[in-house]
């Protein structure tokens, strides 16, 4: 199928379209004609600003117990223990909070995701973004089982605002 390169000097509109497309309608309504568009200057494309590939070392998280002594006998029971920590992945220095995509191997990661589990103990991670850097937020909880230390690799794509 042929391709059409359309350029309009008056308003700066540029488009690369499939041949045979209704040119006027596709130029004016790109979102309604995406299947015929390879590029349209009216669409907001995510452009890569930075890329980080970082190994994060998470420390061990111990399970804890509480105890009480009554009539000479000691009773011990497990208590839930939890905490939050942050780990920097890198500085993007864009001055605003950019769109970012986080992934491990070929898994894109969204929201909170588990990186370690042992019985009822769980370590979750999520991506944090501020005006200067991207970082990992660790939320962990232990109950009965401790969580061993672990090294996890994260890759982050940081995109410029359109």
Partner 1 sequence: MATTVLSISPNSFTASAGKLVSTTRYIRKSSNPLFYLINGKNMDVSGGGLRYVSATGNIITDNTYNGAFSSVLGTGVKI
Give, as ranges, the residues between 75 and 104 that touch partner 1 (CB under 8 A).
Answer: 101, 103
> Residues 111-117: contacts with CB within 8 Å, 24+ apart?
112/139, 115/58, 115/150, 115/152, 116/58, 116/147, 116/148, 116/150
From candidates 2, 47, 66, 69, binder to partner 1 by CB under 8 A: 47
d(C-alpha 109, C-alpha 125), whole Å: 9
- Per CB under 8 A, the segment of 26-34, 70-78, 108-116, 133-141 that binds partner 1 is 108-116
- Does residue 45 touch partner 1 according to CB under 8 A? yes
Total residues contacting partner 1 by CB under 8 A comes to: 30
Q: What is the largest CA-CA distance in the chain?
A: 91
Minimum Å gap between C-beta 74 and partner 1 is: 28
- Name the residues that contact partner 1, by CB under 8 A: 7-9, 12-14, 39, 41, 45-48, 101, 103, 105-110, 113-114, 117, 119-120, 122, 155, 157, 159, 162
């Amino acid at each position: 199928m042929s391709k059409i390169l359309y350029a309009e000097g008056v308003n700066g509109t540029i488009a690369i379209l499939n041949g045979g497309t209704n040119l006027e309608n596709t130029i004016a309504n790109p979102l309604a004609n995406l299947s015929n568009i390879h590029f349209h200057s009216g669409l907001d494309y995510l452009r890569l600003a930075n890329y980080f590939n970082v190994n994060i070392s998470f420390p061990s998280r111990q399970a804890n117990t509480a105890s009480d002594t009554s009539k000479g006998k000691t009773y011990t029971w497990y208590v839930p223990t939890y905490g939050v920590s942050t780990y920097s992945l890198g500085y993007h220095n864009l001055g605003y909070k950019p769109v970012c995509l986080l992934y491990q191997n070929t898994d894109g990661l969204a929201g909170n995701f588990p990186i370690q589990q042992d019985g009822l103990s769980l370590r979750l991670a999520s991506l944090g973004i501020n005006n200067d850097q991207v970082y990992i937020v660790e939320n962990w909880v232990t109950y009965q089982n401790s969580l061993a230390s672990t090294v996890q690799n994260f890759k982050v794509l940081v995109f410029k605002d359109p």
